Amino acid sequence: MAPGSTRRYIASQLDTISHMRTNRIGELKKEHRRRVSEVLLIQRLGLENVGWDPDDIADLPTKLPKSGWHKRTVAENADLKRHIGHLVALGCNQQVVYWCLWNMSRPAHELRMGAVQKSVLKEGEEDYDLETVQQPLATDDDMAGLTAKVQAAADSISRFKKELLIAANVLLDDPEVRRDMMESEKVTPDEAMSMLKSLLHWIRRLAESWPAPNLNTLMTSKGVLFLLAYVRMCEERSTPSPRSHKRKKRAGPTKPDRLALKNASVVADIAQLYTGEEFTPSNLIDKLQDFQLEHPKLHGRMVSLLKSLEEVARSRRSK
């Protein structure tokens, strides 16, 4: 092979290797983002538990919760109650329906977006008030800033390592000071310095690998999923699917049964009256099915929670 051809061949192979490596990194980042998004969904939808203890479930609402999105007219309230009555006739528990509606409210949406409640003492007041404070998810810029600060701290510690160790050896001669400064008296200053270096490196790598999911996209219209899953659950109880006996005869995974169009239409009307958000029945049917297919474990936890809520509503009402 001529020298020129050899160089071109080597350059072509290097380009191919570089392209494959870039694709592999891109795939890893995509998978990382997917897994982080899954964890965020679990946390923000309140589905950390696989099973629920009835004693851990708070009292369910006994009346229609305020939506916080807009004010309804008298006629709209009447329509909303009529649609809820349709779900109750289907076999849904009214208190559980109210709980699902609360998950569609503005306060529930704000919590999913990261809001937290803090006790605040206002000037001139004696009692603390609960205020909702927004805590946005960290962005790429936030993590870049953290990475820079951690690296700067690591560099400074390395620069003054000798001086810090001299100070440690002098101060730690005093047993009381050692107890105050060291969680474990068995750890030497050199070991503590090595642990600190490793921890700072760990924090920097975590910050660099943060995929910064788009929370607005991730949490859009997620509140309605609870009501959709609950209505589908009640549907299956009241009208067994004709596909259910066929599924046993077929091998391999199958698509989940779809929500009935008439009931999806009711949920669409409820969502519009309660939140002002417009959905078509077919959009809601697809939304629930897509959630089941993309997040089967998460959907299973959601159904498990809804069943527990029903049990709690029935048992506490009978007392």
Residues 6+ apart with CB under 8 A from 45: 112, 222, 225, 298, 302
Whose tokens are 């479930």? That residue is: 57
What are 237-272's pLDDT values in tens digits?
Answer: 887 655 544 544 554 555 678 999 999 999 999 999
The pLDDT of residue 227 is above 60: yes
> Residue 272: enclosing H or E segment and its boundaries?
helix 261-275
The string of DSSP letters for 9-60 reads HHHHHHHHHHHHHHHHHHHHHHHHHHHHHHHHHHHHTT---SS--GGGSPPP
Same domain, 115 and 204: no
163 and 107 within one domain? no
In this structure, is residue 248 part of a structural domain? no
Contact 279, 268 (CB under 8 A): yes
Verify that 127 and 238 share a domain, yes or no: yes
Whether 249 maps to a domain, the answer reads: no
Do 154 and 296 share a domain, yes or no?
no
Beta carbons of 300 and 279 less than 8 angstroms apart = no
- Structural domain total, the chain: 3
Domain span at 13: 1-44
Contact of 154 with 204, CB cutoff 8 Å? yes
Is residue 218 one of the residues assigned to a domain? yes
128 and 237 fall within a common domain: yes
CB of 98 closer than 8 Å to CB of 87: no
Are 312 and 224 in a shared domain? Answer: yes
> Does 79 lie in the same domain as 55?
yes
Q: Are residues 79 and 157 in the same domain?
A: no
224 pLDDT more than 50 = yes
Q: Provide the pLDDT for residue 121.
A: 72
pLDDT at 86: 97
pLDDT of residue 245: 47
153 and 285 fall within a common domain:
no
| Same domain for 233 and 102 | yes
100-132 residue pLDDT tens:
999 999 999 998 988 877 777 777 777 777 777
Residues 147, 275, single domain; the answer is no
pLDDT at res. 12: 66
